[in-house]
Chain A
Amino acid sequence: MQRSQTLGEILDSRGVSRRAFLKYASYVSALMALPAGSAAAMAEGLAAARRQSVIWLSFQECTGCTESLTRSFSPTLESLIFDFISLDYHHTLQAASGEAAEKARETAMAENKGKYIVVVDGAVSTKDGGLYSTIAGVANVDMLRASVKDALAVIAVGTCAAFGGIPKARPNPTGAAPVDEIVTDKPVINIPGCPPIPEAMAGVISYLVSFGKLPELDDLRRPKAFFGETIHDRCYRRPFYERGLFADGFDDAGARQGYCLYKVGCKGPVTYNSCATLKWNGGVSFPIQSGHGCLGCSEPDFWDQGGFYRPLSTSLRDLGPALAGAAVAGAALGAGAAWASRRHQAAYVKEQAASEGGKK
Chain B
Amino acid sequence: MTLLDFARGPALQAALIIFVLGAVWRIVGALTAPWRLVPANPREGALSPAVAALKGVFVKMWPHKPFQQAGLFTFVNGYVFHFGLAIVVLLFTPHILFIKGLTGLNWPGLPSNLIYMVAVITGASLIAGLVHRLRSPVLQLISRNDDYLSWLLTFLPVVTGLLATSHLGARYETLLALHILSICAFLIWFPFGKLMHAFLFVFSRGMTGVRMGQRGAEL
Give chain A's interface residues, CB within 8 Å of chain B: 230, 232-233, 241-244, 246, 262-263, 269-270, 300-301, 305-306, 310-317, 319-320, 322-323, 325-327, 329-331, 333-335, 337-339, 341-342, 345
Which residues of the partner chain B approach A333 to less than 8 Å between Cβ atoms? 21, 25, 28-29
Contact indicator A334/B26 (Cβ below 8 Å)? yes
Which residues of the partner chain A approach B33 to less than 8 Å between Cβ atoms? 337-338, 341-342
Bound Cα distance from A270 to B94, whole angstroms: 14
Bound Cα distance from A172 to B28, whole angstroms: 45
Stretch of B10-18, B44-52, B81-89, B134-142 contacting A (4+ beta carbons < 8 Å): B10-18
Q: Quick one: which of A312, A317, A330, A342 contacts B23, CB cutoff 8 A? A: A330
18 contacting pairs across A/B (C-beta < 8 A): A230-B172, A270-B4, A300-B2, A301-B1, A306-B8, A312-B94, A312-B176, A314-B8, A314-B101, A315-B13, A319-B102, A320-B102, A326-B20, A329-B21, A330-B23, A331-B25, A333-B28, A341-B34
Given A327-B24, A330-B25, A334-B26: A263 and B9 interface contact (C-beta under 8 Å): no
Beyond contacts A311-B101, A322-B16: 11 other A-B pairs, Cβ-Cβ < 8 A, are A244-B93, A270-B4, A312-B94, A313-B94, A313-B95, A314-B98, A314-B101, A315-B101, A333-B21, A335-B29, A339-B32
Q: Does B217 contact A (CB under 8 A)?
A: no
- Smallest Cβ distance from B187 to chain A, in angstroms? 12
Q: Which residue of B lies closest to A246 (CB)?
A: B93
Q: Quick one: which of B16, B93, B176 contacts A270, CB cutoff 8 A? A: B176
Q: Quick one: which of A246, A306, A334 contacts B28, CB cutoff 8 A? A: A334
- Smallest Cβ distance from B217 to chain A, in angstroms? 25
Bound Cα distance from A342 to B5, whole angstroms: 45
Q: Quick one: which of A241, A327, A338 contacts B20, CB cutoff 8 A? A: A327
Which residues of the partner chain B approach A306 to less than 8 Å between Cβ atoms? 8
- Smallest Cβ distance from A94 to chain B, in angstroms? 37
- Smallest Cβ distance from B39 to chain A, in angstroms? 10
Contact indicator A243/B112 (Cβ below 8 Å)? yes
Give chain B's interface residues, CB within 8 Å of chain A: 1-2, 4-5, 8-9, 12-13, 16-18, 20-34, 93-95, 97-98, 100-102, 109-114, 167, 172-173, 176
Which residues of the partner chain B approach A233 to less than 8 Å between Cβ atoms? 167
Bound Cα distance from A218 to B102, whole angstroms: 35
Given A331-B24, A331-B28, A334-B24: A313 and B97 interface contact (C-beta under 8 Å): yes
- Smallest Cβ distance from A190 to chain B, in angstroms? 15
Which residues of the partner chain B approach A327 to less than 8 Å between Cβ atoms? 20-21, 24
Contact indicator B102/A323 (Cβ below 8 Å)? yes
Pair count A-B, CB < 8 A: 132
Contact indicator B101/A326 (Cβ below 8 Å)? no
- Smallest Cβ distance from A275 to chain B, in angstroms? 16
Which of A244, A301, A320, A339 has most chain B Cβ within 10 Å?
A: A244
Which residues of the partner chain A approach B100 to less than 8 Å between Cβ atoms? 314
Given A270-B176, A312-B94, A313-B94: A242 and B17 interface contact (C-beta under 8 Å): no
Contact indicator B97/A314 (Cβ below 8 Å)? yes
- Smallest Cβ distance from B127 to chain A, in angstroms? 26
Contact indicator A316/B5 (Cβ below 8 Å)? yes
Q: Which residue of A lies closest to B102 (CB)?
A: A319
Contact indicator A301/B29 (Cβ below 8 Å)? no
- Smallest Cβ distance from A153 to chain B, in angstroms? 25
Which residues of the partner chain B approach A322 to less than 8 Å between Cβ atoms? 13, 16-17
Contact indicator A311/B97 (Cβ below 8 Å)? yes
Q: Which residue of B lies closest to A248 (CB)?
A: B106
Bound Cα distance from A314 to B101, whole angstroms: 6
Bound Cα distance from A331 to B94, whole angstroms: 30
Contact indicator B24/A330 (Cβ below 8 Å)? yes
Bound Cα distance from A331 to B24, whole angstroms: 6
Which residues of the partner chain B approach A341 to less than 8 Å between Cβ atoms? 33-34
Which residues of the partner chain B approach A310 to less than 8 Å between Cβ atoms? 101
Q: Quick one: which of A242, A311, A338 contacts B29, CB cutoff 8 A? A: A338
Given A311-B97, A334-B29, A345-B34: A323 and B16 interface contact (C-beta under 8 Å): yes
